[in-house]
Amino acid sequence: MFSDLSVFQLVVLLVSIILSLSIHEATHGYVAHWLGDDTAHAMGRLTLNPLKHIDIVTTVALPMFLIIAGLPPFFVAKPVPFNPERVRWGEYGAALVGVSGPLTNLLLAGVGALAFHAFGLTASPDIYNAILIFVQVNIAFFIFNMIPFPPLDGSRLLYAFAPEPLQRVMLQIEQTGFLAILVFFFFIFQFISGPIINIENSLLQFLLG
């Protein structure tokens, strides 16, 4: 998706990543706060300030290295903390907090698609490519984060409906943090990457036509 990019396109990609992840993470915090948990507020994470949400290694350096190396990138921001036991509606409230981030990326992709249809086809090649990259980034964030593997956001939706034995296993995986993401990306993702890419392409085609 992000191969053979020019310097300008790499800059647009970096800005799109930082902007989209910042809005994604802030939305988690705002939804958790709305549901009664003030953890994110107490830690200063109810903000769109990218400096509060990005990690220079996992959000910027690592994905850019993977892109330049021609490898599939993945993007990890600083997770917004929240206490599932403090939100209203229990596991269902926690599921709302979890899916709010990816759904925000889907909304951003939709906004980008509207801009594409309004301006992209008649704009300069740089504007055309910038809008396209922004939409692609947000589609990728939406689909990847909705995968129900802890600690990805989609796991919160699975928690709400999974039987207790499966919840215990998921909790053990989630407690390994970034290690679980690395294991998933390098050992599990290769088995589902084909369908994931097909879904991304289908959604991109649906939005951009």
Q: Which two tokens stand for residue 60?
A: 């910027």
**Candidate list 25, 91, 164, 200, residue with the active-site label:** 25
Burial zone of 66 (CB within 10 Å; 0-12 exposed, 13-18 middle, 19+ buried): middle
- Sequence-distant (6+) residues with CB within 8 A of 128 are 116, 120, 121
Give dist(CA 72, CA 209) in Å, integer.
24
Specify the 3-state DSSP secondary structure of 36. coil
- Where b means 16+ CB within 10 Å and e means fewer, 118-150 reads eebeeeeeeeebbbbbbbbbbbbbbbbbbbbbb
Whether 25 is a known active-site residue: answer yes
How large is the C-alpha radius of gyration of the chain? Answer: 17
Query: Which residue reads 């998706």 in tokens?
Result: 1
Distance CA 62, CA 163 (A): 36
Question: Catalytic site residues?
Answer: 25
